[in-house]
Amino acid sequence: MIRKKLPIGIQTFREIIEEGHYYVDKSGIAVRLVNEGKYYFLSRPRRFGKSLFLDTLKELFEGNESLFKGLAAETLWDWSRRFAVIFISFAEGVVHSREALNAKITEQIDVNQEALGLHTTQPMLSGRFSELIRLTRAKYGQRVVVLVDEYDKPMLDNITDPGIASDMCDGLRDLYSVIKGQDANLQFAMLTGVSKFSKVSLFSGLNNLTDITLDERYSDICGYTDVDVDTVFAPELPGLDRGLIRDWYNGYNWLGTPVYNPFGLLRLFDTRQFKPHWFETGTPDFLIKLLEKRQQFTPDLSRIVASDTLLSTFDVDRIPVEALMFQAGYLTIDSVRSLPGLMQVTLRYPNLEVRTSLNGMLLQSLTNHPTQYGIHAAQLYDLLIARDFVGLKNLFHAFYASIANDWYRKNEMSHYEGYYVSIFYSYFAALGLHIQLEDPTNFGCIDMTVLFQGHVYLFEFKVVKVRSRGQALKQIKERNYVQKYKNRGEPIHLIGVEFSKASRNIVRFEVETL
């Protein structure tokens, strides 16, 4: 097997093909889109291949047949027809004012009119865009293709300032409304981005887009499937644990075939190290602050239930946690329940990369101890291997005791019971251990089950006003939670953990091994 170049960060289809990089063929999907519709919208997380897909469409419409030799589109596309393409991208740079946005739009129009050999004269930006489309059709004798990459970036760059974000929204709405108005002159249009803002804000002037974000036929429009990994990237697999590759990087799901994050997988093949490659490229601070502000119970992040409509849109001044985390790629679809007129979606972490990294970052924020987190996490892992329960109790007791009183006073989340359990859970989740929350049995639900190196750990948590008499451990035993795991033939550890609001710490940590 011959290894090829890894297309890490490359978003240009021509470069990938001509320079001999690995390429997962998405050209067949591109042809299907063109044949079945005219206006599309697609939301996918950052670094998922949206820009590359749009560039593939651009080369397809421009009729560059030589680039598609051996690919699906070679025999599916009518190469006798060519179309002029207007390509607008907000991927580069950051804008923080309406003036800066207008300058960016001006730049994009200038770049396109220069490439197409045209000159616009209208004074308004929307007028220039409209004129550019009309002049392009007149010159090239065919209807025009419009592709917009990272359509929402100016808003997302200012999402923590609703006033500025709203200004960005107004400016972009004025621009995008031209697409609907120029229907007679357009052959095809597609907008891609990370998020989808509601029709009452950004899309009020562009309500003719077909949103394929949650269309199972296009779940793998971006990203790599298991089949892609085993075929296209087969030369990269020797020396790497195939199951671990799947656990760490696969799992993103948009109602169809699950996919791997391309960037994370390519970085794994490059470095040969299992690390949070995608996560480390930039998790927004505002997401962590939003989870904190809304007192998000971290164990619930792996089992959120929401409607499909809630997941697909939000407004600048109202951002549901579920929608933000789903669209940004920190949660994905686990299961779907269809009701008359309603689709109910259960979310989960997509893979180990996201679960471990996000919980680690949440711990640093929740506790205000970014350095101690790394030390304690390693100690927790070693104590579990040694089955040192006294050490485990002392570790968590010392950790809670180290949190400054001032931090408790300032942190709103610390005033509710879930704060203590959130920290406990997130430590285990950040280690990438197999965890089951609200683990159902015939006698009730176990708060947390951990399966690790041939041992079963059953946790029950309680927050008490005064020192109790071991109610947590008593509940595990009385409800016979162990029955579910007896057939595994593994040691089972019953662990009751009780927290006190008064002392802000663990007041009872009892263990019984069967």
- Within 8 A by CB and 6+ apart from 139, the residues are 84, 116, 117, 118
Query: Can you name the residues that pair with 413 across neighbouring β-strands?
Result: none
The residue among 272, 196, 275, 209 whose CA lies nearest residue 241 is 272
Q: 């790629």: which residue's tokens?
A: 329
> How does pLDDT run along the chain (514 residues), one tens digit per residue?
899 999 999 999 999 999 999 999 999 999 999 999 999 999 999 999 999 999 999 999 999 999 999 999 999 999 999 999 999 999 999 999 999 999 999 999 999 999 999 999 999 999 999 999 999 999 999 999 999 999 999 988 888 888 998 899 899 999 999 999 999 999 999 999 998 776 546 666 667 889 999 999 999 999 999 999 999 999 999 999 999 999 999 999 999 999 999 999 999 999 999 999 999 887 667 777 777 776 677 777 777 888 877 776 667 667 788 888 898 899 999 999 988 888 888 999 999 999 999 988 888 876 666 677 778 888 999 999 999 999 999 998 887 776 655 445 555 554 455 677 777 888 889 898 888 888 888 888 898 899 999 999 999 988 887 666 788 999 999 999 999 999 999 999 999 999 887 777 888 999 999 9
355-381 burial: b if 16+ Cβ within 10 Å, else e: bbbbbbbbbbbbbebeebbeebbebbb
Structural contact between residues 361 and 283, judged by C-beta atoms closer than 8 angstroms: yes
pLDDT of res. 361: 85
- Within 8 A by CB and 6+ apart from 488, the residues are 456
Task: Report the SS3 class of residue 128.
Answer: helix
CA distance 128 to 175: 10
- The conformation of residue 29, written as its DSSP 8-state character, comes to H
pLDDT of res. 378: 87
pLDDT of res. 406: 47
Q: In this structure, are strands 210-211 and 85-89 parallel, antiparallel, or unpaired?
A: unpaired
Host H or E run for residue 231? helix 226-231
pLDDT of res. 151: 94
Alpha helices in 3-159 (DSSP H): 13-18, 27-36, 50-61, 73-76, 98-116, 125-140, 153-156
pTM above 0.85, yes or no: yes
Q: Which domains does the chain have, with CATH numbers?
A: 24-213 (3.40.50), 226-277 (no CATH), 281-348 (no CATH), 352-513 (no CATH)
Please classify residue 59 by burial: count the beta carbons closer than 10 Å to its beta carbon, then call 0-12 exposed, 13-18 middle and 19+ buried: buried
Structural contact between residues 98 and 161, judged by C-beta atoms closer than 8 angstroms: no
Three-state SS sequence of 242-283: HHHHHHHHCCECCCCCCEECHHHHHHHHHHCCCCCCCHHHCC
pLDDT of res. 205: 63
Strands laid side by side in the 434-441 sheet: 434-441, 444-452, 455-464, 492-500, 505-513
pLDDT of res. 360: 87
CA distance 227 to 179: 37
- The conformation of residue 315, written as its DSSP 8-state character, comes to B
pLDDT of res. 291: 78
Structural contact between residues 504 and 468, judged by C-beta atoms closer than 8 angstroms: no
